[in-house]
Chain A
Amino acid sequence: DVKVTQSSRYLVKRTGEKVFLECVQDMDHENMFWYRQDPGLGLRLIYFSYDVKMKEKGDIPEGYSVSREKKERFSLILESASTNQTSMYLCASSTPSGRVYEQYFGPGTRLTVT
């Protein structure tokens, strides 16, 4: 079974803090993704990576950065958290050689910025 884990289920941070959200997958997947989910807005892609040390901007990268030093780990960084970054953050992974296009999601991190 594919497992995608996220470091925290719930997180509360203050405005201006630097926030790290960690994601680890155990299936040797090449592709990893970060989304945020907000009511009425669905799943919006923040950043993705197709290989170690590689990153691509998604639809809403402003205010975020990412790091992928190892294949299994993809970190999302909020350089200076703001209240409009309060959201559910979802990490996903996939492989182009597996069941085509299917992305496996982690349980999500509910981040509240006060």
Chain B
Amino acid sequence: DQQVKQNSPSLSVQEGRISILNCDYTNSMFDYFLWYKKYPAEGPTFLISISSIKDKNEDGRFTVFLNKSAKHLSLHIVPSQPGDSAVYFCAAVSGNTPLVFGKGTRLSVIA
């Protein structure tokens, strides 16, 4: 039973355009959401997060949107750069429990 779903295994975007990565969740108890970025042969690194009391959080080129009623969040990257090419994991948590991760979306930014 997958509580966090990333339905697009891969995404290709041209350099300079917007990348939109999507994530859906089923557990209404989740109260915090995070995005991690992972390069090959490296551990995931934290990118951006959002609390369930907010609907938007922005950090430079990265913005996360949360729609609680739809149990949906998205990560926007504007403008996309070749160095953004990586696997992006969506994660969710409730209280001090382990993060629950989605299966990831591989983003390729084409120059």
Chain A interface (Cβ within 8 Å of chain B)? 4, 9, 31, 33, 35, 40-45, 48, 50, 58, 90, 92, 96, 100-108, 110
Given the complex, which residues of A lie within 8 Å of B44, measured CB to CB? 43, 90, 105
A101 and B103 form a contact (CB under 8 A): no
Q: Assuming the A-B contacts A40-B103, A43-B101, are A101 and B43 also in contact, with contact meaning beta carbons closer than 8 angstroms in the complex?
A: no
With A40-B9, A58-B98, A96-B96 as known contacts, state yes or no: A102 contacts B104, CB within 8 Å: no
What is the predominant secondary structure among interface residues of chain B facing chain A? Answer: loop
Q: Would you call B43 and A102 a contact (CB within 8 A)?
A: no
* Residues of B bordering A, CB below 8 Å: 6, 9, 32, 34, 36, 41-46, 49, 89, 93, 96, 98-99, 101-104
Q: Which residue of A lies closest to B93 (CB)?
A: A101
Q: Would you give the shortest CB distance from A30 to chain B, in whole angstroms?
A: 9
Name the B residues within 8 Å of A42 (CB-CB).
6, 89, 101-104
Could you list some 13 contacts between A and B, CB below 8 A? A33-B98, A42-B89, A42-B103, A43-B104, A50-B96, A92-B43, A101-B49, A101-B96, A101-B99, A102-B34, A103-B99, A105-B36, A106-B43
Chain B positions within 8 Å of A58 at CB level: 98
